[in-house]
Amino acid sequence: MKVGPLEKECRIFLAPMAGITNLPFRAVAREFGCDLAFTEMISAMGLVRGAVKTHRYLDSTPEDRPLGVQLFGTDPGVMAEAAKIATENGADWIDINMGCPVRKVVKNGAGAALMKTPDRIRDILRAVRPVVRVPLTVKIRAGWSRGSINAPEIAAMAQDLGVDAVVVHARTADQGFSGEADWRIIGRVKETLTIPVVGNGDIRNASDALKVMNISGCDGIMVGRGALGYPWIFREIAAALAGAPVPGTPTLEERRHIIGVHLKREVDYAGEKAGYLSFRKHLLWYTRGLRGGARFRHAASNLVSAGQMWEAFDLFLSEGDK
């Protein structure tokens, strides 16, 4: 799908995930055919105030392209200023978070709380659209609750206000991450809009990706949790969308290689200690479903450095090889 002025056609997206979609992880996802990767949600206020930690979320490299930057907030002027800062720092695409159900975010009227305040969405988009030349999108939920499904109306309004595409996480905000995504709501949004629609929620493999597209007619798909510990999902989805045979699951050797690359990237990016701490959760995900994985994860909780972790992991894999 072609989105706004972005040259590259993108159909497969890595979802923004707080604490997860940093530069090293985005690089891994891109290697497997993810067309565009998002930063985690970034506080618009934090960017505008110049908070150093917040600015680090914009860290990127020339290979980390095209880069989607997701912003959250409620103040239209601040959102516009933050969008400007993000694009000046290399964002190729700006997304506005309208789906985060976390209390800390919704109590300030941001994230999914915006689904309850269309007037605020209008004000934000009126302020942000004129200052953003790159594609501008909104990532919405089906609605706040089952009794107030309004994704089609919100999406239509966003389209009228000039957004280039809409991402729909097919759950209500009050569902959090529980229950199942109902992909039919993505179809209802798609029927309402002329701009591209990206479907999201519970896409765990290539066949899910095809199913979402068939059920909803969406133009692209976004994967979050399905990529945790399994970035190979992107090459499988890319093959399926191209009508090619879906590659088999990676061998232990392939896993060893990518896990090593990922760990090195984390350490290179954040330093030995912080890189190791950031990577730990990934290693636990990478070993999910592997023989002896539970035993390894238990043992891994006592490890304190990247070196120790790698040794233990290598041993675990060589035992799996036997």
Ligand X SMILES: Cc1cc2nc3c(=O)[nH]c(=O)nc-3n(C[C@H](O)[C@H](O)[C@H](O)COP(=O)(O)O)c2cc1C
Q: Which residues are tagged catalytic? A: 100
Residue 284 engages ligand X in binding (rule: CB under 6 A): no
Interface positions, 147-186, toward ligand X (CB under 6 A): 169
Minimum CB separation of residue 196 from ligand X in Å reads 17
Question: Of 187, 219, 164, which Cα lies nearest the Cα of 10?
Answer: 219
User: Which residues inside 236-275 make contact with ligand X, applying CB under 6 A?
Assistant: none
Q: Which of 202, 208, 219, 266 binds ligand X (CB under 6 A)?
A: 202
The CA-to-CA distance between both ends of the chain, in Å, stands at 45
* Element holding 31 (H helix, E strand): helix 23-31
Nearest to 78 by CA among 102, 107, 54, 62: 54
Segment interacting with ligand X, rule: CB under 6 A, options 53-61, 116-124, 220-228, 258-266: 220-228
Of the candidates 201, 220, 229, 275, which one interacts with ligand X according to CB under 6 A?
A: 201
Cis before 101 (ω within 30): no
Q: Which residue is nearest to ligand X (CB)?
A: 224
Q: Residue with structure tokens 């692209």?
A: 220
> Is residue 34 at the binding interface for ligand X, with CB under 6 A as the rule?
no
C-alpha span between 14 and 21 (Å, rounded): 8
**Helix (H) / strand (E) containing 152:** helix 151-160
CA 97/CA 167 separation, integer angstroms = 10
Report CA 237 to chain centroid distance, whole Å: 16
| Residue keyed to tokens 């590259």 | 8
40 binds ligand X (CB under 6 A): yes
**Which residue(s) pair with 36 in the sheet?**
13
Binding mask 56-95 for ligand X (x = CB under 6 A): --------------x-------------------------
Q: Which of 200, 216, 278, 287 forms a contact with ligand X (CB under 6 A)?
A: 200
**68, 73, 76, 99: residue in contact with ligand X (rule CB under 6 A):** 99
| The only residue of 54, 87, 97, 287 in contact with ligand X, by rule CB under 6 A | 97
The footprint of ligand X (CB under 6 A) covers 15-18, 20, 40-41, 70, 97, 99-100, 139, 169, 200-203, 223-226
